[in-house]
Amino acid sequence: MSKINDHRVALRGLGGSGGSGGSGRLDNWLSYLSTHSGLPGPRGNLELVAACGEEADVAMAEDLVATGDEFATVCGAVALGRCLGGGDRTHLDVLHRLAGDDRWRAREGAAMALQRAGDDDLGACFAVAELWAGDPDPLVRRAAVAAVCEPRLLRDVVFARRALTVLDEITAGLAATPAAQRRDPSVRTLRQALGYGWSVVVAADPADGLPVFERLETSSDPDVSWIVRENHKKARLRRVLATRS
C-alpha cells in the first residue's frame, strides 16, 4: 500500500482528481507513467495502475484511454471502473471495447475496471459481468470471467453464487462452440481463463460450487475436460477437495 500511496501523492502533484495542471496536465501524467510503468519488462507497475485508478478524474481517465498507449489505457480503464462503482455507467461502451481489444493488457484493464467497481458496488460489477457473459465475443466473455474470479469480491456467498452462474453459462457457451472455431486464439484465451476461474469460485463457495464443478467432470467435451484438469492443479481447489476426504 505504501507504494500505491507514494504514487498517489506524486500524481496529485501533477494535477490529479480535482487538481489543476493546465494544458500540460496530461503530458505530465504520461511522462510519469512512462517513467514508472515498469515496461518493457515482465510485469507492469500494478501499484501505479491502482494509484491512477484512484487519482484520475473522469476527464483524465478518458484522455489516458484516448492516447492509445497501452499502459495509460489500463490506468484510465481502472479509473473508469472506479466511476462505475460510484454509479457512473456512461463509459460501459469504452470498457466493453477494451474487453475485446487486441492488446492483452488493455483487456486486463477492462477486467480490473470491473473489479475496481466491485470494491465500491459489487452489484455494478456483477451486473456488467452477467451482461458480458452472453456476449458473442469470446474475449469479452473472458473479461467477465477474470472480473468475477477475484477472491476479494467473493466473500459474500450471494456474489459467489452469482460468479458461479457466470462461469457455468460461459463454460456451457464454450462447449457449444463449433469445433471449427475452437482453435481461434480468442476462444483459447477464454478457455485459459476458465482454466483457473473455476477453482477461485469453488474455493469461495464449496457448498454450491463443488456440485456444479463435479458435473463438469463428467463432460466428454475436450475443452471442458481441459478446464477441469487445469483447475485440479490449483492449490486452492486441492485444499477444498482435501477437506472432503
pTM (2 d.p.): 0.94
Contact residues for 116 (Cβ-Cβ < 8 A; gap 6+)? 53, 78, 81, 82, 84, 85
Closest alpha carbon to 82 in 47, 44, 52? 52
How many residues are recorded in the chain? 245
Q: Could you give the count of Cα atoms lying within 13 Å of 80 in the half-sphere of its Cβ?
A: 28
Q: What is the pLDDT of residues 121-169, one digit of tens each?
A: 999 999 999 999 999 999 999 999 999 999 999 999 999 999 999 999 9
**Domain spans in the chain, listed from the N-terminal domain onward:** 1-120, 154-245
Residue 136 three-state SS: coil
Closest alpha carbon to 112 in 167, 166, 140, 74? 74
DSSP code at position 176: T
Instruction: Say if residue 83 is exposed, middle or buried (CB neighbours under 10 Å; 0-12, 13-18, 19+).
Output: buried
- Digitized pLDDT (tens) for each residue of the chain, 245 residues in all: 799 999 999 999 997 554 444 458 999 999 999 999 999 888 999 999 999 999 999 999 999 999 999 999 999 999 999 999 999 999 999 999 999 999 999 999 999 999 999 999 999 999 999 999 999 999 999 999 999 999 999 999 999 999 999 999 999 999 999 999 999 999 999 999 999 999 999 999 999 999 999 999 999 999 999 999 999 999 999 999 999 86
Closest alpha carbon to 153 in 53, 81, 226, 237? 81
What's the angle, vertex CA 176, arms to CA 173 and CA 179, rounded to 5? 125
